[in-house]
Amino acid sequence: MGPSEYHEALWRELPEGLEPPAFERRRAFLLKSLTPGRRALDVGCGEGAFAAELAAAGAEVVGVDVAEEPLRRARARHPGLDLRLLAGETGWELPDSSFDLVWAGEVIEHVADTTGWLSELRRVLRSGGSLVLSTPSVGWRELLAAALSGRAFAERFDPRADHLRFYSAATLRSLLEDFGFQEIEISRLAGSPSLLLCRAVRSRF
């Protein structure tokens, strides 16, 4: 099974219309970074919930995903959105410096080629543009909880899960700095699972 078939299979197993985890709090965090009239890219847009919110807030939005099934659902729920299929984690058919904001909600932990993916993300983001992302937190609190409970460990590090990477605030910050992002702000959103909310600025030319 290739990467495309893998992602299609994952989506086919999910019921339609599920609200993204911590949707309201992540939506509020995302929209704080948006200036109406700007171009925004929703990477890994899924069924289009966040792309629709960006559009409603006045952004010119493009939503992209590596699987057709979530895009089919998104087109049915939000027929006015510009939704596109990506061939993979790299080689996006999007122009250089074409977006003012890139949103990647619960995506980076699924990416196999993190270096290539971040390079593409940086390429399409204009100088001084904003990266906003969220990802599950795997910091000392989560590791301690996993160490104290076999059940918590099994849930967090289930080998059948589709999470390929695990991030703490420190490792996420270091990664983004290596890719030329500045003014990095990371906060932790408590819950189950706990999430990291990150805002950063692409280095200016």
Position with higher pLDDT, 45 vs 154: 45
pLDDT band at 144 (very low <50, low <70, confident <90, very high): low
Q: Is the pLDDT of residue 193 over 80?
A: no
* Nearest CA among 58, 42, 40, 38 for reference residue 50: 42
* Structure confidence at residue 4 as a pLDDT band (50, 70, 90): confident
Alpha-helical (H) ranges within 57-102 are: 68-77
In degrees, rounded to 5, the angle at the alpha carbon of residue 62 between the alpha carbons of residues 117 and 1 is 50
Q: Which helix (H) or strand (E) holds 82?
A: strand 82-85
Mean pLDDT (the chain, rounded): 90
Judged against a pLDDT cut of 60, whether residue 58 lies above it is answered with yes
Taking residues 108-113, report their average pLDDT.
94
Q: 164 pLDDT band (50/70/90 cuts)?
A: confident
Question: What percentage of residues in the chain have a pLDDT greater than 70?
Answer: 85
From 89, 39, 29, select the one nearest 59 (Cα to Cα). 39
- Is 117 in contact with 89 (CB distance < 8 Å)? yes
pLDDT per position as a tens digit, 64-103? 999 999 999 999 999 999 999 999 899 999 999 999 999 9
DSSP 157: T
Residues 109/164, Cβ–Cβ less than 8 Å? yes
Contact 98, 39 (CB under 8 A): yes
Residue 204, pLDDT above cutoff 70 = yes
16-27 average pLDDT score: 94
pLDDT for the residue 156: 55
User: pLDDT value at position 10?
Assistant: 85
Q: Which CATH class is domain 3-12+20-202?
A: alpha beta
| Residue pair 59/34 in contact by the 8 Å Cβ criterion | yes
Between the CA of residue 24 and those of 1, 28, 196, what are the distances in Å?
35, 6, 15
Q: Which residues pair with 167 in a beta bridge?
A: 137
Rounded alpha-carbon distances, angstroms, from residue 56 to 6, 27, 35, 80: 32, 12, 12, 11
pLDDT at 165: 87
Q: What is the mean pLDDT of residues 135-150?
A: 67
